[in-house]
Amino acid sequence: MRRPASGLNCLCPLEKRNKERASMAQSRRWKAVSTILLLLATLAGCTGAPRFKGEVVVYVAAPLSGFQANGGQTVVGGARLRAHEINQKGGLLGYRVQVVGIDDESDSDVAVEVAQEIKEKVQAGGERVIAVLGHYNSGQTLAAMEIYKDLPLVVITPMSSNVALTQKGYTRFFRVIGTDEAQGRVDAEFLVRQLGARRIAVVHADNEYARGLRDEVVKSLRALGQEPALVVEIKEAADTQMPAVQKVKAANPDAVFLAGYETEGYVFVPELREAGVEVPVLVSDGCFLAAYIDESRGLAEGTYVSAFTPSHKVVTDAAWVKAYQEVEYRNPDTYSIAGYAAMQVLEAGVQKAGTFDADRVAEAIRTVTVDTPAGRMEYDAKGDLREQRIFIFQVRDDEFVQVYP
């Protein structure tokens, strides 16, 4: 580095002290300005967005891949929308709600692995896990509950309807839909009293949900004095259901009931129609998804579908749909309502309890009334809804149109 030339850039002691004082004064002014700017930014943050005490985690366990991915993803979307609304209002007891979707692949063994993973998260203590919304299918929920029942968590299933779930003594378990018993009774009454059917073929998939519903429908048909003309099992998500179609055709029924998911519905029903069987068909709530219509090649037209929830097109408005799309980047479906309602029930329980303690939240849920898009929800001691609603829709011009009640 070159030295400055004599008499040019050199400062005398007085001039040097004056310059240092000026520099220090300028530095203090910048620090003061910076402090003011930081304070203003903090105040802006306080007025523009909530400040949270921390974060709580809610896992949503559902099929997020595979043949039921669409249904599971819409459940997660509904839960995320409600969590977003909660956070916009300041959170749950001042805590930000984080929704984490976790994939059980529609497989009970995987569901157990998922439950074990959540157990490890709870025990590790890194995340403050307060609840599981799940699972989607009854079989996966039954399997996972054997782990969840020993954890300090509230479990709310958006979609599992198997009667056994609320008969096992789980003290922190709830569902936002009715049971197979309620659906079986209404479906049987609709077939016999509304459609006038006397020879009813009962077809069901080979899973816990469909078998449980089969049992309830058959029981209710017999209570109405009608012995099923045929009871036949089909393989879940098979590429063809022609063996069962041929059995149904040979039985010559005057109505057909199918207990299964959309993946069975959009294979079985078209093949049934193409085989020349034109009698009324009622499919269960597992088919109450747009995919049932979209994948049926127009042959779902005129069929009936039972459901635990009303259509989202009936109970929500354009603003709700837009808000859902902004959070989830997809269109909502019927099961979005179930995910949304499950989060509402959890929210109401926590707010009433004033704590995240699972036992106290569960006790609070049994005492609250929750208004949801799916209707008003109140719970009995087992975790079932006191009023269980079943709706019947008909496919008309590629839309679900409510026809009963």
Domain ranges, ordered by start, for the chain: 54-178+313-377, 181-307
pLDDT digits (tens, 9 = 90+) for 145-189: 999 999 999 999 999 999 999 999 999 999 999 999 999 999 999
Mean pLDDT of 114-131: 97
pLDDT digits (tens, 9 = 90+) for 96-107: 999 999 999 999
pLDDT of residue 4: 33
Q: In this structure, what token pair is assigned to residue 245?
A: 């179609």
d(CA 221, CA 224): 5
Side-by-side strand order, sheet with 230-234: 230-234, 200-205, 255-259, 281-283, 304-307, 391-396, 399-404
**Rg of the chain (C-alpha set):** 29
Average pLDDT of the chain, as a whole number: 90
pLDDT of residue 48: 61
d(CA 17, CA 37): 30
Share of the chain above pLDDT 90, in %: 83
Tell me the three state secondary structure of residue 184. Answer: helix
pLDDT of residue 314: 86
d(CA 303, CA 282): 6
Mean pLDDT of 320-337: 92
pLDDT at 362 over 50: yes
Mean pLDDT of 8-24: 42
Residues 131 and 174: beta-carbon distance below 8 Å: no
pLDDT digits (tens, 9 = 90+) for 181-240: 999 999 999 999 999 999 999 999 999 999 999 999 999 999 999 999 999 999 999 999
Q: In this structure, what token pair is assigned to residue 175?
A: 């569902």
Within this chain, domains 54-178+313-377 and 181-307 share the same CATH topology: yes
Q: What ranges make up the beta strands (E) of 111-199?
A: 129-134, 154-157, 173-175
For residue 167, which phi and psi values (nearest 5 degrees)? -115, 10
Q: In this structure, what token pair is assigned to residue 258?
A: 């199918």
pLDDT at 50 over 90: no
Mean pLDDT of 374-379: 97
- Pairing mode, strands 370-372 and 375-377: antiparallel
pTM value? Answer: 0.85
pLDDT of residue 8: 32
At 405, the pLDDT band (50, 70, 90 cuts) reads confident
pLDDT digits (tens, 9 = 90+) for 287-322: 998 899 999 999 999 999 999 988 888 899 999 999
Q: Say which CATH architecture domain 54-178+313-377 belongs to.
A: 3-Layer(aba) Sandwich (3.40)
The length of the chain in residues reads 405
For residue 383, which phi and psi values (nearest 5 degrees)? 105, 10
pLDDT at 36 over 60: no
For 181-307, the fitting CATH number among 1.20.20.10, 3.40.50.410, 3.40.50.2300, 3.30.70.260 is 3.40.50.2300
d(CA 175, CA 118): 20
pLDDT of residue 35: 39
Beta bridge partners of 395: 400
Q: 3-state DSSP helix/strand/coil percent for the chain, to nearest 5?
A: 50, 20, 35
